[in-house]
Structure 1
Amino acid sequence: MKIDERTFIALDLGTSNILAFVGRQGIVYDEPSIMAYDNMTNSLVALGGDAYNMIGKTHENIRMVVPIKDGVITDLDAAKDMLKHVFGKLKMLNDWKNSIILLACPSEVTELEREALKQVAYDMGAEIVIVEEEVKMAALGAGINIDVPRGNIVIDIGGGTTDIAIISAGDVVISRSIKVAGNALDDEIKKYIRSEYNVTIGDRSAEDVKKELGSLAKYKGERTMSVFGRDIVSGLPKEAIISSEEIRNVLVNAFSRITDLLIELMENTPPELAGDIISNGFTICGGGSQIRGIKEYFNGIFSVPCHISPNPLTGVIEGAKVFQKIVNNRIENGYYGKNAKNVKKGSQSSYL
C-alpha cells in the first residue's frame, strides 16, 4: 500500500488531557484524562469531560482514576481502557485499516508500559505503532528544527511533570524530569490557602485560582478573587479572598525547583552545545507556559531569550504532524515492519 493511502493517527497521552489527531481530519478527540469507575462492579461509568464534571461530587461507590499521573502510568488497566475507548471512537471513522499510530508519552513511562500501550493499538487493528517522547514532539510543534546538529533547550510544563531536554541532531541529547507541573502547582495553592485561611478547597477551585491569578512576574490589572471551601475548624462553608501577589509567591517558590533542575541539566551539557543554548535560548511548551510572566521569570534568572510555543496546548499534536514526514521516510527505507532494518534494540520508535 502506498504511504499516502495510510491513515496517520497521533495521540498525545498527557496527564491532564488526551488528544487524538487523524490525518486529513484534524483533532477529533480532546478530553480530560480522567475516568470514573463503579466500585461494586468495577465497570467504567464515565470518562473524559463527563468524568471531570463528577470530581468532588460522587459517593463512596464511585472512584475517580487518572491513568497517567506525575508522568507515570499509575493504573495500566485503566490506561488500556482509556486507549480502547479512544481507539473505538476512531475506528468509527473508518480510517483504522492499515493505519500508522504515533503515541506521544511522558518520558517517565517505562519501556514495558510503552509496549503494553502499543499492544492495545495492535489488538485494535493498527498496522504500525510508534512511541515517542512528548518533549520531542513538543519541540517540533514549537517550530524547532531538531534535525540540525544545534542544541535547543525545551521546557515542557505539562500537568504531571515538567520535562527539560536538550535536543540536537534529531533526538534528545540529555533530559531531566521533575514532578512540578500543573497538578503540583494546584496542590501548592491548596496548601497555602489551607495554611493561611484555614480553608480547604478542591482541585477545580485551585486550578481556577491558578488560571485567574497565577503569575511569575508583576502584571497590570492584578486583583483579588473569592474562593469558597470548607473551614477546617468549624467544618462550615467559608470564603477566602486571595490576591495575585499571594499566588505569585506560591508559584515562584514552586518554580525554583524547576530552575534548580534546569541549572543541573546545563551543568551536564556538552560544551559544544552550550554556545548554541546561549544564542537559541529556551523554548517553553505545555499548558504551564501560559502562566503570566513566565518569559520574564526565566529571562531574569538566566539572561537568555525565551520563546513560548505558539500552540502550548496542542503543541505535541502539531509536532506529531511534522514528525509524520519523518515516519513516512522511515517506512520507505524499511525502518518499520516485519523486515525492519536499522532499528536499534530498545528504540522508542522501533516496531516490535
Structure 2
Amino acid sequence: MLGRDIGIDLGTANVSIYVKGKGVVLDEPSVVAVDCESGRVLAVGEEARRMVGRTPGNIVAIRPLRDGVIADFEMTEMMLKYFLNKVGGRSWFRSPRILICAPTNITSVEQKAIREAAKRCGAKTVFLEDEPKAAAIGAGMEIFEPGGNMVVDIGGGTTNVSILSMGDLVASSSIKIAGDKFDEAIIKYIKAQYKLLIGERTAEEIKMRIGTVSPSGRSADIEIRGRDMVSGLPMSVTVRSDEVKEALAESVAAIVQSAKKLLERTPPELSADIIDKGVVLTGGGALLHGMDELLAEELLVPVLVAEDPIHCVVRGTGAMLDNLNRGSSKSASYAGLGK
C-alpha cells in the first residue's frame, strides 16, 4: 500500500505528484478536454494536451490553472481526482495528508480555493507551502543555514524570485510572466512579422528547439506551419533564433527587473552570501537557452541551473513531507533538509 502523504506541484503547465516512499509518480500537463454539449470530461493530462487546437467545435481543451492559481475550480477538482486515482487508486486514497505548493503572492481567497479543491478530492489535511522554498529544497540548496540563498523559479504561469535564509523567505517577488507569456509573445511576433497564425504547441516547440535569450546569441532555425491571415490557407515559414530572442525580449526583461529589484532590498550580509553562492534557476523556464547567461550578466552574480529544474518543486515537497509535523506547514520541522 502506498503512503498517505502526498506532495503536489499544482503548476499552470504541469501537475507533478510525489507520494511518500515512492518518489515522483506523475508528471502530466494541466489540461482537461471537455465536451461542451454534454459537459463530459473526455481526457485529462497528456491525452488532453494532444487535443489542444485539434478538436471539433464541441470539444474544448481547458487549462484550469492560470498564472499559478485556480481559474476553473470544477475542472481543477476533476483533474486532481483523475491524477490521484491514476497514481494509486482507491487502495491508498483514504484521507491522505496533501502538501501543495503555491506562488508567494496568492490571495487568501486563492489559498482557500486550493485547499477546498484538495479537500473535495478526499484530503484529510491540506498544507500550503511557498513554491520558492520547495524549489530551493528540491534543488539541494542549504536554506536552513544562517546565510543568503537566492532562487529564481520560472514556471508556466509565474516567476518567483526569492531570498531565503534560516529556512524561510527573507524577501520575495512573484510576477505573472513565465513560460505561457513566452509562448504568447512568440505567437504575437509570428503573427505580426509573417501574418501567420500558429497555436500554443507550435510556439512552445519554437521556444524549446531554437529559442534563446543569450547575450552571445544562438544560431538555429526551424520551419513552422500555420494559417496565412491573408489567404486563409496553410503556409510554411522559417523562423530564426534571433527572431525568437527579439520576441521574448520584453518578457525576459521583466524577469530580470524583478530579480534586480529584489536584490536591491536584500540586506547587505545576505547579498554578500549570494555573490559567493550564486543564484539558482529552477522551473521549466530555466531550460530556455541563455537564461542563466543573461541573468548572470545583468545581476553581476554567478547563476546556476539546478539539476532537473522542472521537478525541483515537487522533489522539494517530498523532502518536506518526510519532515512534516502534524499542524501547519509553516511550522513544520524541516531542519537538515538543505544539507
2:31 aligned with 1:34: yes
Counterpart position of 2:255: 258
Counterpart position of 1:164: 161
Report the secondary structure of 1:314's partner residue.
helix
Counterpart position of 1:236: 233
Counterpart position of 2:125: 128
Is contact 2:96-2:124 (8 Å) kept? yes
Gap runs ≥5 in structure 2: 333-339
1:218 to partner: Cα distance: 6.4
Counterpart position of 2:289: 292
Q: Which amino acid aligns with 1:238?
A: M
Q: 2:134 aligns with which of 134, 137, 150?
A: 137
Is contact 1:225-1:243 (8 Å) kept? yes
Is contact 2:32-2:62 (8 Å) kept? yes
Counterpart position of 2:336: none
The farther-off stretch of 248-257 and 154-163 is: 248-257
Q: 1:220 & 1:301 partners in 2: Cα distance?
A: 15
Q: 1:6 & 1:247 partners in 2: Cα distance?
A: 45
Report the secondary structure of 1:206's partner residue.
helix
Matches within 5 A, 1:1-16: 7-16=4-13
Counterpart position of 1:150: 147
Counterpart position of 2:337: none
Q: Which amino acid aligns with 1:281?
A: G
Q: Which amino acid aligns with 1:53?
A: R
Counterpart position of 1:307: 304
Q: 1:175 aligns with which of 168, 172, 175?
A: 172
Note closer, same or farther for the CA distance 1:317–1:170 as it changes in structure 2 (3 Å cut): same
2:312 aligned with 1:322: no
Report the secondary structure of 1:56's partner residue.
coil
1:183 to partner: Cα distance: 0.9
Note closer, same or farther for the CA distance 1:324–1:208 as it changes in structure 2 (3 Å cut): same
Paired-residue identity, %:
37
1:47 to partner: Cα distance: 1.3
The farther-off stretch of 248-257 and 204-213 is: 248-257
Q: 2:103 aligns with which of 102, 106, 110?
A: 106
Q: Provide Cα deviations, 1:107-155, integer angstroms capped at 9, x if missing partner.
A: 3443333334334444444333211122211111111121122111110
TM-score by length of 1: 0.87
Q: 1:18 & 1:121 partners in 2: Cα distance?
A: 13
Counterpart position of 1:85: 82
Is contact 1:227-1:239 (8 Å) kept? yes
Is contact 1:90-1:96 (8 Å) kept? no
Counterpart position of 1:340: none
Q: 2:89 & 2:251 partners in 1: Cα distance?
A: 43
- Number of residue pairs the alignment of both structures matches: 331
Note closer, same or farther for the CA distance 1:88–1:318 as it changes in structure 2 (3 Å cut): same
By relative contact order (CA 8 Å, sep 6+), the higher-ranking structure is 2
Report the secondary structure of 1:79's partner residue.
helix
Report the secondary structure of 2:225's partner residue.
strand
Is contact 1:87-1:121 (8 Å) kept? no
1:106 to partner: Cα distance: 2.9
Counterpart position of 1:117: 114
Q: 1:61 aligns with which of 58, 62, 74?
A: 58
Report the secondary structure of 2:308's partner residue.
coil
Q: Provide Cα deviations, 1:44-73, integer angstroms capped at 9, x if missing partner.
A: 221111111111112222222211111222
2:286 aligned with 1:281: no
Is contact 1:20-1:28 (8 Å) kept? yes
What is the RMSD computed on CA atoms of the aligned residues? 2.2
1:105 to partner: Cα distance: 2.2
Counterpart position of 1:225: 222
Note closer, same or farther for the CA distance 1:171–1:201 as it changes in structure 2 (3 Å cut): same
2:201 aligned with 1:204: yes
TM-score by length of 2: 0.90
1:282 to partner: Cα distance: 0.9
2:190 aligned with 1:189: no
Q: Which amino acid aligns with 2:271?
A: A
